[in-house]
């Protein structure tokens, strides 16, 4: 489908934020590879790590919460256990109340991604859960991840 | 985006296979709602339940395996715990080696879905993991879920 | 070990609260059975469901939170997918600030449990996370699950 | 209970195998800390990583499988996200067909563990799922983790 870029071009250098994680034994399903739902855990963890560590987000107390309103993933290559995986993150689109992220998963020693993902977060008010403007500090952090595409 | 149908039309009647499940305590993330990755567990479980219970698939011994090559979800409404959720499944496209599924999640007492999903499975040979034709019995079972869209 | 009762005696009738759930596709690990960590999800979900549905606990707003300080499980029989599982719950010990639960998992059509579990919850103050007396309404609900052992 | 050692003595040096992992966003439950079931994922991953990377176990093809027949965990300190966690592993008891593991989780910069765990694996024949002797190569690898307790 047209909504994913050509994955062969999506090397690590195209993702301004890279973070690594280890797969877990029970990430595997009975086919012996990481189950598709787990890929979203990897993506989600990279995004929230960035929001918290770089953007200063405190998800327990901040006045806003980030809700995922849409995401998707395309799978190119199986992943296993034990395996160390690098997640790449960039911001594809930064709106007033929402942000679109492009993500990629890289196996060790490989340039092309094992999977590509996309997430859309809408920021909502903690009390009434209605969309609100992305707080300035988070917005600044997100702007630094804007890619050239 | 255009790749999801209008969710207000996507009522239970449009899904020929319906199965229910219970949310779990740790499906919730710290925002107190079911985490996005968990929605894919719900979808995946509905699809594989159908393949096994209706199609006769034995994922441990069959000569083929079904690999997810792409999926996506759009989120309309938060889900909580404890909550009983109905998953609706239909087949959107049935190819020689691949099948596209449309999915929806319904909260109790509501007609419109809390989320819409889409999965694409490619059937591969267990030994060499290359695409193969969908086995006839599974194909027949899948054909019975072909929707009118 | 001595800390588990003889499982052959632990039939459904010995658990005053019974609730059912469905296993999920990715509960399975690559050995094709439900992974051990998932058993704790089943137990945890049964306990919190009881606290919320019967005891009136609202984990998002109550002044107390229940923290697991110890748990254990003994496994007697593999579980698969798709499978509907009944969780049995009774209260083994009800203290001022803590409660011990005995749990069992039952496969459909079987009298003896597939696994036995034990959880200890300590109730803590939401603000300072120090142990506090179990709130009266929850205590009453828990007392109704006290077994005869 | 008596079945756990005094955790204040259980520093990293008492665990001959140490491996690190990153917590994930949805490891957190709505209380904002890592859910108890996830601790077992951490333990399970450390054990299986050791069996595979050091012992040469191939869980997809070896003639034996390791089944967890009992495990337990005691929780001393909450863990959060994002957090890098070290898992310590030693062998407490090495039998003919089974092995008992002691485990500990360490937060960065702390000497005392956040949790202590214990697992018992029984090795079974892949075909008939009956207990069999631990294969020699795995047994040698496990013997190297025998602690002095």
Tokens 């007392």 belong to residue = C143
Interface ipTM: 0.96
**Residues 30 to 49 of D: which have CB under 8 A from any B CB?**
30-32, 35, 37-38
**Torsion of the alpha carbons at C78, C81, C84 and C87, rounded to the nearest 10:** 40
User: Which chain A positions have a beta carbon within 8 Å of C37's beta carbon?
Assistant: 26
Which residues on neighbouring strands pair with residue A125, listed in sequence order?
A64
Q: What is the CATH number of domain D15-143?
A: 3.10.129.10
pLDDT of B50-109, one tens digit each?
999 999 999 999 999 999 999 999 999 999 999 999 999 999 999 999 999 999 999 999
pLDDT higher than threshold 80 for residue B148: no
Which of C37, C103, C122 to substitute to test the interface with D, most D CBs within 10 Å? Answer: C37
State the burial class of residue B137 (Cβ atoms within 10 Å of its Cβ: 0-12, 13-18, 19+): middle
For residue A43, the chain B residue with the least C-alpha distance is B37
pLDDT tens string A71-97: 999 999 999 999 999 999 999 999 999
| Angstroms from C78 CA to nearest CA on chain D | 9
Contacts of D72 in chain C (CB under 8 A): 70-73
Q: What residues of chain C lie within 8 A of the CB of B42, using their CB? A: 24
Q: Percentage of chain B with pLDDT > 90?
A: 95
**A to D CB pairs, distance under 8 Å:** 58
* CATH architecture of the domain covering B9-143: Roll (3.10)
What is the residue-wise DSSP string for D76-100? -S---SS-EEEEEEEEEEE-SSEEE
> Structure pTM?
0.97
pLDDT < 70 regions, chain C: 1-2, 148-149
Burial class (CB in 10 A: 0-12, 13-18, 19+), D86: buried
- Among A59, A72, A98, A120, most B C-beta atoms within 10 A, so best to mutate, is A72
The answer to whether A127 contacts chain B (CB < 8 Å) is no
**pLDDT > 50? residue A127:** yes
Asked if C67 and D60 come within 8 Å (Cβ–Cβ), the reply is no
pLDDT of residue C148: 62
Task: Render C94-120 in DSSP notation, one character per residue.
Answer: E-SSEEEEEEEEEETT-SS-SEEEEEE
Q: Do A22 and D45 touch (CB under 8 A)?
A: yes
- Dig out the tokens for A76 from the structure: 């190119």
State the average pLDDT over residues B105-118: 97
Smallest Cα distance from C57 to chain B, Å: 12
| Segments in D7-147 forming alpha helices (H) | 36-53, 136-143
CATH number of this structure's domain A7-143, picked from the four choices 3.40.50.2300, 3.10.129.10, 3.30.9.10, 3.40.50.300: 3.10.129.10
Q: What is the pLDDT of residues A13-62, one digit of tens each?
A: 999 999 999 999 999 999 999 999 999 999 999 999 999 999 999 999 99
């Amino acid at each position: 489908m047209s909504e994913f870029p050509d994955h062969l071009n999506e090397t690590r250098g195209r993702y301004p934020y890279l973070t690594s994680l280890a797969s877990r034994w029970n990430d595997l399903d009975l086919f012996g590879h990481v189950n598709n739902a787990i890929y979203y855990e990897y993506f989600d963890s990279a995004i929230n790590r960035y929001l918290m560590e770089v953007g200063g987000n405190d998800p327990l107390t901040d006045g806003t919460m980030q809700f995922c309103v849409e995401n998707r993933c395309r799978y190119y290559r199986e992943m296993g256990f034990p395996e160390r995986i690098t997640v790449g993150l960039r911001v594809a689109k930064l709106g007033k109340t929402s942000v679109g992220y492009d993500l990629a998963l890289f196996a060790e020693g490989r340039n092309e991604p094992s999977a590509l993902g996309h997430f859309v977060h809408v920021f909502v008010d903690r009390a009434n859960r209605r969309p609100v403007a992305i707080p300035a500090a988070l917005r600044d952090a997100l702007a630094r991840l804007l890619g050239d595409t």
